[in-house]
Chain A
Amino acid sequence: MSTTRASNAELPLQQYENVVIRFAGDSGDGMQITGNQFTHTAAVLGNDLATFPDFPAEIRAPAGTKPGVSGFQVRFSSSDIHTPGDQPDVLVAMNPAALAINIKDLKPGGIVIANTGQFAERDLAKAGLASNPLTDGSLKAFRVIEVDINQRVKEALEGSPLSPKEVQRCKNFYTLGLMYWLYNRPLENTLKWLGEKFASKPDLRDANQKALQAGFNAGDIHELFQGRYDVKPCTSMPPGTYRNIMGNEALAMGLVAGTELAGLTLYCGSYPITPASGILEQLASYKNYGVLTFQAEDEIAAICAAIGASYAGHLGMTSTSGPGMALKSEAMGLAVSLELPLVIVDVQRGGPSTGLPTKTEQADLLQAIFGRNSEAPIPVLACSMPADAFETAIEACRIAVQYMTPVILLSDGYIANGSEPWRLPKVEELQRFPVQFLTKAPEGGFLPYARDAKRARPWVKPGTPGLEHRIGGIEKSHLTGNINYDPLNHEFMVRMRNDKVMGVRDSIPTPKPMGPDSGDLLVLGWGSTAGSIASAVEVVQAKGKKVAAMHLPHVWPLPKGLDTIFARYKAVLLPEMNLGQMARILRSEYPGVNFVSYPKVQGQPFFTAELVTKIEELLQTKR
């Protein structure tokens, strides 16, 4: 496999089942790239993995300050994992601010790799630290490895044509080299990536490759560590072809796939917003797949253009985050009234208002289900993991075209920027749902608001001779679609639209509990809590507890059969990154069930450990 690998065989190689590393530094230190490279290499080595980037909302807060700290956590494992891990085993701290912010999360006894080149008086001052944590004894509980990365990089790149400032920018690759040595990883993958990335800038390419190699060699030469660690490939991953994928990218691909399976052209009207911009960017790069992208002047224009495109016969979609959802709500109501297919992606972030743009939350659930004037029902789906965003996006497209309705697809910051290995589906096995446009008047005449068995109205492409018709936001007559202010017709249409959306239940499966199909507790989740719930439930199941986990990809309408599942457990625990929004809905839909809400609204996902504690606490009180 590798030639540069294991250059020093004298140090013992200790095997670990899984390791969590957090790279932390200044926004300008390139920690996201470092983390991504480590992840790619782990993926190619066959580890299961999960990542969690955590970066500030400011692009470049003042260098060296706490608000400027950017982090990237990666967990790689020889067994099946569902989360990026609660606590890092290793913290790489490029400066005092990064250390100060992240040290509280490090596992007791964990390793700190500190760049002493960045711990001078003024660096401590920028981080607002009164004393140096490396010398004041505050790191006693950890193994601290001090490396003057600034100096080492300078030495390694002596004679490079780069300026001293540019030389210092190679620090992250030196650090990555060091970590590759420590975890017995090959350099090839990153060397190749640098070669491609800096193909037109050979000086930068050479310097970064050299820094990487120097960091790796330093592990041998400088005797910084007592041992090296290894994490074997994960053997429990089902056979197949894999690639590492981030949530936003998987979601964008799912939309392209869903559109193709429907036999349509995808039209994305979006306005940049964190953390959803990646979807628009991704789709803009798919032009050779026939995707049309329109970066609109604002959130409202974005959805309106997408609706216009759907009227014209494409599959319109728009991607945004909470504040953008608020702006789009009037247009969503129009889409409900027009009964045109449309996919609205909400990559949720901390709120209200601007809130925490780069942090995750699930608090747009009620907004998604109910946040429009009047009775404006829209089916709502939620992705649970980065890779699963692909299939959920396809499902959103299917419902949109089969039911002639807007569909909201919820993701969140944790899914959008997180990554995991994705077992690639066989394209031939993806189920097609081709759209049949109405091309000529049926017998008895054309009625724009006639309905099929799913209560969907016909879809006519403007440009079709003989089927000219007008649609709009004013209440419509049943069948003809003409303007109609009649009270009874209005109620009929309100019920019709609602029945149509509730009818989506007929085409969605009932989810299955993972674990015992009856017992003391069902831990129920929707969205990105899936990984944490699965991990926590596995822990308590291993202790012999009668606890199951279940996940809801369809959050509105809720699938059939939930009542009988709920009835088989003494209680249903609902961890949510909001104040209990799904719990509120379920309590009104299933009044007899003992739902226990477990909210966490910190802009951070649930830790496995805190869920385990909560579950065990509940089991105790149940007894």
Chain B
Amino acid sequence: MTLDNAPLTKKDLKSDQEVRWCPGCGDYAILNSVQGILAGLGIPRHQMLFVSGIGCSSRFPYYMNTYGLHSIHGRAPAFATGIKTANPELSVWMVTGDGDGLSIGGNHFAHILRRNVDVKILLFNNEVYGLTKGQFSPTSPQGMKTKTSPMGSIERPMNPVSFALGCGASFVARTIDTHQKHMEQTLLAAAHHKGAALVEIYQNCVIFNDGAFEPVAEKSVRDDKTIDLRPGEPLVFGKAHDKGLKMAGWEPAIVEAAQADTWKADHASPGPAFAMAQMQSLPGMPRPIGIFRSVEAPLFDHGMNEQVQRAVAKKGKGTLKDLIYSGEMWTVR
């Protein structure tokens, strides 16, 4: 029997199942980081639950020695909502990918965010379909050649962070699979957020889209090509911490570090976060990672149960007899 109070180690969270991702896949690093931060949260293993849909990333629950549900394509948010509203005590984590979450499951993805169900959502974005062997996905760049787009994809990619902000998500962040420290910080912030927390993780698919994020994520260029959004801290980037961002009119502009604006992730409006999310459409701007948005919002799972408690408090707990013997009745003797 597990001892409830014994502190967890990373090892405790590894299941006995053999991990079956391709060697070199970014998923390994993510699994490792998740196990690492979860062990330190002080939540007992039996209170943790992982839900996923279909895709490479969605095998994740099998590798976690917690409760887990590997569901059907795109629907993980709906399962997670059912689980969390049925038992708000559980720490519920959802794992999805760019195809599962944004294509087939786009509808549910939008609604779990807008409802603010207290679920931590990890979106592994590798800009390609892995499990079905390399077709383009809703986040693939225009022009990408795959077996289903031999002349190049003519689709405009969607930006998961912008989408989540548009849905009214209360927590939106982005991190990179190869940036362990940043990933752990970001996951930790998500874990501590009360409400739906989306973390987009740039994840390298070595088989079908190797190096997709290299231009911004590769170690030697990362500091110059990305900017870490840290609430309460100046928007500074660059290897020498010499560059900064400042809002100039409607759009951010690069300035000297000393002139940089201080980042706030809890503006009343998601406008500034949008400006950051869309910055990649401006040439020469760094790619933002870190925390775009973190605000308090009412919890859906709590609300659903609270209404039941309120109804019981007001009308008293109904019995079967109350239920059946109601309305207009008459007696036949």
Contacts and interface: CB of A to CB of B under 8 A. Distances in A.
Interface of A: 40, 43-44, 46, 189, 237-244, 253, 256-257, 260, 265, 267, 269, 286-292, 294, 296-298, 300-302, 304-314, 316, 330-331, 334, 338, 423-425, 427, 430, 440, 461-474, 482-483
B22 interface: no
B67 interface: yes
Interface residues of B, number: 66
Contacts of A189: 328
Contacts of B325: 241, 243, 424
Interface string B88-103: 0110000000000000
Nearest to A285: B311
B330 A43 contact: yes
B69 A309 contact: no
B15 interface: yes
Contacts of B79: 304-305, 307-308, 311
A289 B331 contact: no
B243 interface: no
B66 interface: yes
B149 interface: no
B330 A466 contact: no
B92 to A, nearest CB: 9
B36 interface: no
A238 B331 CA distance: 10
A288 B83 contact: no
Contact of B320 (A287, A306, A338, A427): A427
B333 A239 contact: yes
B1 interface: yes
Interface in B37-92: 44-47, 49-51, 61-62, 64-72, 75, 77-83, 85-87, 89-90
A474 B55 CA distance: 12
Contacts of B310: 287
Interface in B190-210: none
A304 B311 contact: no
Contacts of A472: 61-62, 68-71
Interface string B139-170: 00000000000000000000000000000000
State the 5 A-B residue pairs at the shortest beta-carbon distance, nearest first: A308-B82, A472-B70, A305-B82, A304-B78, A470-B68
Contacts of B328: 40, 43-44, 189, 243-244
Contacts of B319: 427
Interface stretch (B214-222, B245-253, B300-308): B300-308
Contact of A242 (B2, B50, B307, B329): B329
B321 A330 contact: no
A316 B87 CA distance: 13
Contacts of B51: 308
B20 to A, nearest CB: 9
Interface of B: 1-2, 4, 15, 17, 44-47, 49-51, 61-62, 64-72, 75, 77-83, 85-87, 89-90, 107-108, 110-111, 304-305, 307-308, 310-312, 314-321, 323-333
B46 A241 contact: no
B16 to A, nearest CB: 8
Contacts of A425: 324
A265 B304 CA distance: 13
Contacts of B318: 286, 288-290
A532 to B, nearest CB: 25
Nearest to B81: A305
Nearest to B68: A470
A408 B16 CA distance: 36
Given A257-B323, A465-B1, A312 B71 contact: no
Contacts of B68: 469-472
B81 A294 contact: yes
A470 B83 CA distance: 14
Contact of A470 (B15, B307, B326, B330): B15
Nearest to B15: A470
A44 B90 CA distance: 49
B89 A463 contact: yes
B314 A288 contact: yes
21 contacts: A237-B332, A256-B320, A260-B320, A269-B78, A287-B311, A288-B316, A289-B323, A290-B317, A294-B304, A297-B108, A301-B107, A304-B78, A307-B82, A308-B82, A312-B90, A338-B69, A462-B67, A463-B47, A465-B46, A468-B67, A472-B71
Contacts of B330: 43-44, 46, 241-243
A286 B47 contact: no
Contacts of A306: 82
B320 A241 contact: no
A427 B321 contact: yes
A312 B82 contact: yes
Given A267-B85, A288-B312, 6 more contacts: A40-B328, A189-B328, A267-B86, A292-B305, A304-B75, A470-B17
A593 to B, nearest CB: 40
Contacts of B83: 308-309, 311-312, 462
